[in-house]
Amino acid sequence: MIDNSTISKTQICAIKARYIKNEGFKLDNNLSTPYLENAIVGLKFLGDNSHSKTLFEAIEEKVFDLGEEVKNNFTAITYDNAKSMKGEKNGLIALLKKEFPSRFIFGLGDPCHLLSLAVKHTMKELPEVISDFIDTMHHHFANPQRTAALYKIQKELGHKQLVLCHFVPTRWLITGKSIKRILEIWESLIKYLESKPKSSGLKKFDYLKYLNLLQDKGFKLKFTFLNTLLERINQTNITYQSQHIEIQELFRQMKNCIDELTEILLIPEKIPQDLSDLKTIPWSDEIAIQVYFRAEDVFIKLMGRELHPDLLMIESLDSSDKKPEVLKFCKNLLSKLIEMLVKYLPVESRN
């Protein structure tokens, strides 16, 4: 596996290898048994560029120069979604295939990184009112005085003293944890905003605006739906990070993740056997929605059964306004997530 990172304004390339180590655990007869090892085998400063040729040179220096046995047993590589890695003509994978023209080199985009990309682009579709709420809450409670005021309210309510998670959009799992934490302290946030605690700060905070949102049942159901989707993706992400997962299990997990979400949204007869065919669905087209999407009552029941029981409360919302609004949010967000998953994950049929 190869990946780059910028640390203290310096580009560094890290190479991690999974290989068979012959001198393994000692047996009763004093013989050793080979075992799989996962280890970082090289770090290289990249200077002022991270082009595919530079990355290829890093692999030559840090991996192939370890010896002919290592080079001759090189079979696969995983990487992020950068063009310098995946480019079919001049990317790193293309250069590796040119180096070994008679050998099959298996290349796979890092599934954790690809899941992160799918979530990142799905989150861009959130309504501004939700994005603003998330950003504002995290910014507001960056102030220690406000955090202390929230702790005091939680203590008075007999709740566990929790504050919002440190929100970093570029971290893979933290987005889901941040949304979950907001739901966990929902009631104490309401009490906090009702009390309008005074604290230092140049920007005037609109307590009433965010209090109204927290007291809106439809808004909380949207948050609940968002949280369940992110939890589902995070569970898959954590599975992918296992050092023991095999490649066939990796693809099975990818398929299951998409299958489970697709079955909630789409009519069974419209779900293709080859999930890559989902790319052909015009997800934002109103006519397609009528043709492909499940009836609203079935959709609500499946959300309540497969995602979170609280989502069954959508059925009891005011049908003249809130219910259609929440349903539209859920359908749009779920369809966007599925669209991004099939775009980034390698879901082509494998026989």
Query: For 167-178, what is each residue's pLDDT tens digit?
Result: 665 566 788 889
Widest pairwise Cα distance in the chain: 77
Asked whether residue 351 is assigned to any structural domain, the reply reads no
158 and 248 share a domain? Answer: yes
**What mean pLDDT, rounded, does the chain reach?**
86
Strands 2-7, 76-79: pairing is unpaired
Judge whether 350 lies within some domain: no
SS (H, E, C) 121-148: HHHCCCCHHHHHHHHHHHHHCCCHHHHH
Choice between 235 and 305, residue whose per-residue pLDDT is larger: 305
Tell me: do 131 and 279 sit in the same domain.
yes
Look at the chain and report how many structural domains it folds into: 2
Q: Are residues 184 and 221 in the same domain?
A: yes
Shared domain for 35 and 126, answered yes or no, is no
123 within a domain of the structure (yes/no): yes
Q: Number of C-alpha atoms within 13 angstroms, CB side, residue 81?
A: 12
* 68-77, 81-90, 125-134: least confident range: 81-90
Q: Is 12 found in the same domain as 128?
A: no
Q: Are both 124 and 245 inside the same structural domain? A: yes
Structural domain boundaries enclosing 31:
2-109
CA distances from 126 to 89, 168, 271, 317, 336 (A): 36, 17, 25, 21, 10
- Judge if 320 and 290 occupy the same domain: yes
Q: Verify that 251 and 309 share a domain, yes or no.
A: yes
Do the domain assignments include residue 349? no
* Separation of alpha carbons 112 and 240, rounded Å: 6
Condensed to tens digits (0 to 9), the pLDDT of residues 8-37 reads 778 888 898 888 777 655 555 565 667 777
Instruction: Assign 351 a pLDDT band (cuts: 50, 70, 90).
Output: very low
pTM of the full structure: 0.84
Instruction: Mark whether 256 and 123 lie in a shared domain.
Output: yes
* Any domain includes 12: yes
